[in-house]
């Protein structure tokens, strides 16, 4: 039978994060089959009865949400500086939700939100190469040969970028440009840094696609639940 580390079991039940679950264990508040847990690495199965403060754990139903994040929200469940987080939009949903990966504070667009750890792993781990498309407005022109360089891969501080798709959407030959870029990596501020490499600033950044999902039908700040077949299709894409 499949075993799970005790702190994950507590997190999956929606009680708290894995790190805070370790704290609960330390404080002697977690009991498995009638015995207080002393070992943080304890493995449990679905048959084990786990209680926290005397309350029996049950697994939280998985929730998968497609959110149109506005600029000006933090992609985190909590913020030390008490700024608005993407999770504030879901305070009436009774589940321990968190964003799948992150978009910068100033980036808008398609953000998945879930309480499903395995789904998150498939959507974010680099080995699954999930494709994300961004619409980018720049404060200058990316020349043809620079576009080709970007498509092939460029050297950033944290290494070479993988080949990407790049399309020019608007180039009026003036002082700005709109492009669409599709990448399957998810390094910190990657798109902004790819343009900075050529001396350009990104003045607007919106994620418009995540694999086959788009923002169709949603306005900024709105969300919808993913349908079960969409969740399955995303997992299937990640396994391709």
Print burial letters for 142-156: b (CB count within 10 Å at least 16), e (below 16): beeebbebbeeeeee
Residue 103: which of 65, 68, 130 has the closest Cα? Answer: 68
Interface with ligand URA, residue 205, by CB under 6 A: yes
Q: Nearest approach, Cβ of 215 to ligand URA (angstroms)?
A: 15
Question: Among 128, 132, 133, which Cα is nearest to 236's?
Answer: 128
How many residues of this chain bind ligand URA (CB under 6 A)? Answer: 8
> Any contact of residue 189 with ligand URA (CB under 6 A)?
yes
**Choice between 55 and 162, CB closer to ligand URA:** 162
Q: Name the catalytic one among 48, 79, 104, 139.
A: 104
DSSP 20: H
Mark whether 88 is an active-site residue. Answer: no
> Under the criterion CB under 6 A, does residue 179 sit at the interface with ligand URA?
no
Using CB under 6 A as the criterion, what x/- string covers residues 138-177 for binding ligand URA? ----------------------------------------
Residue in 6, 37, 57, 103 binding ligand URA, rule: CB under 6 A: 103
Give dist(CA 29, CA 24) in Å, integer: 5
Residue number, 16 or 182, with CB nearest to ligand URA: 182
Compute the distance between CA of residue 181 and CA of residue 191 in angstroms, rounded to an integer: 8
d(CA 75, CA 100): 9
Q: Quick check: 180 binds ligand URA (CB under 6 A)?
A: no
User: Considering the complex, what minimum distance in angstroms separates the CB of residue 62 from ligand URA?
Assistant: 25
Q: Which of residues 191, 200, 226, 231 is near ligand URA by CB under 6 A?
A: 191
- Does position 6 interact with ligand URA (CB under 6 A)? The reply is no
- Contact call for residue 184 and ligand URA (CB under 6 A): no
The span from the CA of 114 to the CA of 225, in Å, is: 10
DSSP structure string for 170-231 = E--SSS-EEEEEEES---TTHHHHHHHTTT--EEEEEEEEETTEE-TT--TT-EEEPPHHHH
Shortest Å distance, C-beta 236 to ligand URA? 24
Footprint on this chain of ligand URA (rule: CB under 6 A): 103-104, 107, 189-192, 205
Return the active site residues. Answer: 104
């Amino acid at each position: 039978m499949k075993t799970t580390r005790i702190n994950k079991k507590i997190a999956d039940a929606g009680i708290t994060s894995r790190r805070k679950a370790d704290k609960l264990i330390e404080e002697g508040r977690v009991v498995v089959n009638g015995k207080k847990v002393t070992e943080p690495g304890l493995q449990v199965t679905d048959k084990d009865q786990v209680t926290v403060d005397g309350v029996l754990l049950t697994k939280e139903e998985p929730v998968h949400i497609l959110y149109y994040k506005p600029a000006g929200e933090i992609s985190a469940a909590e913020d030390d500086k008490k700024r608005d987080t993407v999770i504030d939009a879901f305070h009436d949903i009774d589940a321990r939700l968190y964003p799948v990966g992150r978009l910068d504070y100033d980036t808008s667009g398609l953000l998945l939100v879930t309480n499903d750890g395995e789904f998150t792993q498939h959507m974010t781990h680099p080995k699954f190469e999930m494709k994300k498309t961004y619409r980018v407005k720049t404060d200058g022109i990316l020349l043809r040969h620079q576009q080709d360089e970007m498509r092939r891969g460029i050297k950033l501080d944290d290494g070479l970028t993988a080949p990407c798709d790049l399309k020019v959407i608007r180039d009026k030959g003036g002082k700005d440009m709109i492009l669409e870029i599709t990448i399957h990596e998810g390094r910190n501020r990657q798109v902004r840094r790819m343009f900075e490499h050529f001396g350009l600033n990104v003045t607007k950044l919106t994620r418009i696609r995540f694999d086959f999902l788009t923002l169709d039908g949603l306005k900024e700040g709105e969300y919808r639940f993913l349908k079960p077949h969409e969740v399955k299709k995303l997992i299937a894409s990640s396994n391709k």
